[in-house]
Amino acid sequence: MRPAFASQKTIFSLSLLLAIIMALPALVSSTGWKDRRDIYPAIPLSQGPFQWVQEKVFGETGDIDVVFMGSSHIWSGIDAPFVQRKLSERLGRPAKVFTLAWPWAGIDAEYIVGRDLLERRHVRMLVIDDTGGGDHPHLNSSRWFRIGSDSEAMQGLPLLPRARLYSSAVLGMPRQLLTFLRPNKLDDHFNGRLNDSVSYASIPQNLGALRVPMIWDAPRFVPFQPRGNAKPDDTLVYSQATRSQFRFPPAPNVYQLHFARKLAQLCKARGTRLVILKMPIFGEDGPIVVSAPELSPNLLGPSVDVVGIPPRLLLSGVSAGDVKKLFVNSVHLNQNGMEMFTPLVTGALLRIYESPAH
C-alpha cells in the first residue's frame, strides 16, 4: 500500500503546484499590476527591436503624425524616412513618422502594442500590414501579455482562445515575477545585430524601418532600381468605386478578428485613422488580395481604410528575372523592393492623412 500512497501524494502535490501556477496571473493581477515600462526592454534582441518600441512608447512624448506598425512584412517594406520627408514637405513643418515592427504576424500583438502607444501619445494615422496571424496568441505574447493590465483584451473572446491567452500569461509569469526581485537583464541592443546583414544601430537611423541588403537566392546584394511601369496613381483605396479590385478571403480567424475589431475601436476612440496596407507577395497576380480576411472593412467598419496596388500593375514592365531582386523571400521585400514600393503608396497614404475622418 505504501507505493500507492506515495503515488497519490505525488499526484496531489503536482496537482496543487499546477493549480498554483495556473492561478498566478489572477493572483498577481489583484495587486494592481499596471506599470508596463519593464516589459519591452527585457525582450531579447533576437525577438525584435523592442528597446526601440520602449523608447517610442514610454520614453518620448508628443503627437505623432504616422506610425507604421506590425510584422516583418511592413518592417522591411516601408521606408519610414522617405514618408517623413514627403509628409514634411506637404505640412511645411517637420513631420513625426516612424515604424514599430517585429518578427511574426499577429493582430493581437498590434492591438497590445498599439494600445500601449495610444494610451500615452496621440497618433494621427496608424498603418498596419495586411497579414493576420494564426488562431493562437502571438509567439511573444508570454512576454507582453499580463492578466490585470491586459484583462480587458480577453473580454468577448470564446473560451478556447481565452484559455490559450491565459496559458500564455502563465508561461510568462515566472519571468514577470522576477522583475519584482531584481532589474531585468537587458541585451546591449545598440551594439547588437538583428541578423548577419543588419545591425541594431541602423533601426533608429531608419526610424524603425528594416532595410535588408539581401536578394532572394542570390549570394550577395546588388542595388537595383526596376524600370517598371507602375505609377503612384495605380495605388487604390478601398471604396464603392474600387471594391471590385479588392479580394478578402472568406472565413475570418475568430481570434485575430477579435483583436482587429478591438484595434479599430481603439483607433476610433483615440481619433486615430487606421489604415491597412496590402504588402507585395512574390508571384501574385489579379486583384488586390488582402491576406487576412478579418481586416475587411465589412467586418471592421467604414472608418478603416484599405490601400493596395493591383499586382499586375505593381510589377508591370519588370522582367521575371529582375523581380527576385526586390525580395528577400516570397513574402518580404528587401531594400530594393522597399525603395520601389514606398514611393508608389506614399501619395495615397498622405491623401488619407489629410482627408477628414469617415
Identify the pLDDT of residue 193: 61
Contacts of 281 (CB under 8 A, 6+ apart): 291, 311, 330, 331
Burial 68-92 (b: 16+ CB within 10 A, else e): bbbbbbbbbbbbbbbbbebbeeeee
- Locate 241 and state its grid cell: 468605386
Packing angle of the helix pair 159-181, 254-270 (nearest 10 deg):
60
Cα separation, 79 vs 156, in Å, equals 36
Identify the pLDDT of residue 16: 46
265 burial level (CB within 10 Å; 0-12, 13-18, 19+):
middle
Predicted confidence band of residue 18 (pLDDT cuts 50, 70, 90): very low
Instruction: Report whether pLDDT(1) > 90.
Output: no
Which one-letter amino acid corresponds to residue 178? L
pTM: 0.87
Contacts of 178 (CB under 8 A, 6+ apart): 184
Higher pLDDT, 183 or 163: 163
Q: How confident is the model over 198-222, as a mean pLDDT?
A: 88
Q: Picking from 77-81, 173-177, 218-222, which range would have the lowest pLDDT averaged per residue?
A: 173-177
Burial 150-181 (b: 16+ CB within 10 A, else e): beebbeebeeebbeebbbbbbebbeebeeeee
- Locate 19 and state its grid cell: 493549480
CB 116 within 8 Å of CB 57: yes
Contacts of 316 (CB under 8 A, 6+ apart): 228, 229, 230
As a CATH number, domain 49-135+186-354 is: 3.40.50.1110
Q: How confident is the model over 71-75, as a mean pLDDT?
A: 96
Q: What is the pLDDT of residues 232-287, one digit of tens each?
A: 999 999 999 999 999 999 889 999 999 999 999 999 999 999 999 999 999 998 89
Identify the pLDDT of residue 151: 67
Cα first-last separation, the chain = 74
Mean pLDDT for the chain? Answer: 85
**HEC letters along 196-244:** CCCECCHHHHCCCCCCCCCCCCCCCCCCCCCCCCCCHHHCEECCCCCHH
Q: What is the pLDDT of residues 86-143, one digit of tens each?
A: 999 999 999 999 999 999 999 999 999 999 999 999 999 999 999 988 888 888 887 7
Calculate the dihedral angle through the C-alpha atoms of 78, 79, 83, 86, rounding to the nearest 10 degrees: -140
Contacts of 214 (CB under 8 A, 6+ apart): 197, 221, 328, 334
Cα separation, 231 vs 153, in Å, equals 40
